Amino acid sequence: MKSVISWNVNGIRAAEKKGFLDWLALESPDILCLQETKAHKGQLNPELVNPVLSDGTQYLSWWSSAKKAGYSGTALYSKTEPVNIIPFGYPEFDDEGRVVMAEFPEAVVISAYFPNSQEAGARLGYKLDFCAAMLETCNRLVASGKHIILCGDYNIAHKPIDLANPKTNEGNPGYLPQERAWMDEFTGAGYVDTFRAFCSEPHQYTWWSYRFRAREKNIGWRIDYTCVDPAFMPFVTTSTILKDVQGSDHCPVKLTYEN
Catalytic residues: 153
CB 122 within 8 A of CB 174: no
Report the Cα 233 to chain-centroid distance in Å: 18
Mark 189-201 as b/e (b = at least 16 C-beta within 10 Å).
Answer: eebbbbbbeeeee
Dist CA 174 CA 183 (whole Å): 11
Tally of residues, the chain: 259
- Rg of the chain in Å (alpha carbons): 17
CA distances, 119 to each of 111, 116, 166 (Å): 25, 9, 17
Taking each helix axis from N to C end, the angle separating 177-188 and 124-143, rounded to the nearest 10 degrees, works out to: 0
CB 97 within 8 A of CB 72: yes
Handedness of CA 2, 99, 88, 39 (dihedral sign): negative
